[in-house]
Chain A
Amino acid sequence: MKVLTDNFALYGKGFLGTVELTVYASVLALVLGFLMASFRVAPVGSFRVFGTVWVAVLRNTPLTLLFFAVLLGLPRFGLVLPFEVFAVLALGCYTSAFICEALRSGINTVPKGQGEAARSLGMTFSQTLGTVVLPQAFRSVIPPIGSTIIALAKNSAIAGAFSVTELLGTYKSLNELGYSIIWTFVWIAVGYLIITLTISALFHVLEKRWGVAR
């Protein structure tokens, strides 16, 4: 307990860092994932290819390698941004591939008649997708997207090892201060549990509010 009360400010900073990373990266991942999912079902061939390649490559890239390449590689091109921004980029792009797959399988759960009906009303592709299919798909993808976001929150720990301020990284400073290393980790674990449980509660509420049983 003493480890937590003595270093509340340090823990707080790390906790907020993780929350910030998670929030920004999930916004990026949702936007990119949405974009890629619409690319993957688009009528234009080159969009489909681009979406497919994006998903296939990012899903099979180890996140550590991506962090390695983005955080240490991009500065070689003269692109110097704060490490936090790089971390959000890496996490967001990585997770967008999983969001895209969740959305795409969600689109497949919408009955075909819905798309056909929209088309027979004369709607264009973007209208069909945006106003008819996706709002229905959204309801059935809440649980998979929830678990993807939880995975994102857990993956953000990797950013800490690349010297971004976040929860896991706090162990280094506490270790140097000579606190009990086991208790340090217990409180870090509690911090992650709080974050993942909050996300899961949030998505549980969303699911209750909008989810449908198909």
Chain B
Amino acid sequence: MTADSTALYDIPGPRTRKRHMLYGVLSTVLIAGLVAWVLYLLFDTDQFTSAKWSPFEYKGIQELLLRGLGNTLKAFAYAAVLSLALGGVLAIGRLSVHRPVRWVATLLVEFFRAMPVLVMIFFIFVALKVQPLPALVTGLTLYNGSVLAEIFRTGIGNVERGQREAAYALGMRKTQVMTYVLVPQAVRAMLPTIISQLVVTLKDTSLGYLITYEEFLHAGKLIASNLDYDLPFIPVVMVISPIYIGMCMLLSWFANWTARRQKRNPKTEAVDVGPAEPGTLLPGVQ
């Protein structure tokens, strides 16, 4: 573990080390026991019978799963690009010098961050009678766009004041200051936070399952409810979740990697960005 947490306990002596060893062995045995119990349950309820796993051998079913995965990635790609664009627009609105523009942008951002994404998606899908894919993408875009707007705004606000002042002192105009000085520095520093927010977007594409968008989980559900294969629900979960979790972990890892890389990058020295907030209305914390 890192050095910062060792402040919580002394470097263990021989007796403590023995005791810790005992705890470690005991807890490992306990966890191994739990895993064994789950495995026993899996075998006991006949989850590993060939009837339940055979569907994955069929080409049609593999294609169904792949199509589902493709649809998930498609929704993610649309939502990511559109929410980045919307986030940019809303952030510009919130930083505008014109008061009405600022008010409208603030209102939109605060409203969409306070609403559950699913309520927006259902509203668009049910009340406005939109197709599942556009409904999902719009809902995700509105929510993630406003969260990203907030990230952009704080990022630009966190660029050291001297940078802005120096740019103005050089005679640059307000748009030039923004595009040549503030945004390039802020975007570099915000990259990890933006990618973390994209992980949220990727995770939320699974909400499409609830509005019958034919994405990955939906494909899994189709296979799982097939009586011919003895309702292979658990096998489907065992196939789907590693892929889903793996994709999200990969993206999270990428966010961490950029964050680590940036710590030693002089180009982001002038900016200090905190983690993304999952939509707050805390008046005291801004």
Whether a CB of chain B sits under 8 angstroms from the CB of A85 is no
Q: How many A-B residue pairs have CB under 8 A?
A: 176
Whether a CB of chain B sits under 8 angstroms from the CB of A12 is no
> Are the C-beta atoms of A47 and B27 separated by less than 8 Å?
yes
B1-12 toward A: CB 8 Å interface, digit per residue (1/0)?
100110111101
Bound: A48/B206 CA distance, A = 30
B216-258 toward A: CB 8 Å interface, digit per residue (1/0)?
0100110010000000011001001100110011001000000
Given contacts A108-B4, A125-B9, A200-B281, contact A189 B119 (CB under 8 A): yes
Across the interface, B5 reaches (CB within 8 A) one of A41, A64, A168, A192, namely A41
B132-156 toward A: CB 8 Å interface, digit per residue (1/0)?
0000000000000000000000000
Q: Which residues of B contact A155 (CB under 8 A)?
A: 116
Chain B interface size band reads 35 or more
Whether a CB of chain B sits under 8 angstroms from the CB of A82 is no
Within 29-74 of A, Cβ neighbours of B (below 8 Å) are at: 41, 43-48, 50, 56-57, 59-65, 68-69, 72-73
What is the distance, in angstroms, from A132's C-beta to the closest C-beta of chain B?
Answer: 9
Bound: A41/B5 CA distance, A = 6
Binds A, one of B99-107, B120-128, B167-175, B262-270: B120-128
| Known contacts A56-B249, A59-B252, A150-B280; 10 further A-B pairs (Cβ under 8 A) | A46-B23, A50-B27, A60-B245, A62-B205, A68-B217, A69-B241, A129-B8, A154-B116, A185-B122, A188-B119
- 6 shortest interchain CB distances as A-B pairs: A115-B7, A60-B248, A62-B206, A154-B116, A64-B206, A147-B280
- Interface residues, chain A, CB within 8 Å of chain B? 41, 43-48, 50, 56-57, 59-65, 68-69, 72-73, 76-78, 98, 107-108, 112, 114-116, 119, 124-125, 128-129, 133, 143-144, 146-148, 150-151, 154-158, 160-161, 168, 171, 175, 181-182, 184-185, 188-189, 192-193, 196-197, 200, 203-204, 207-208, 211
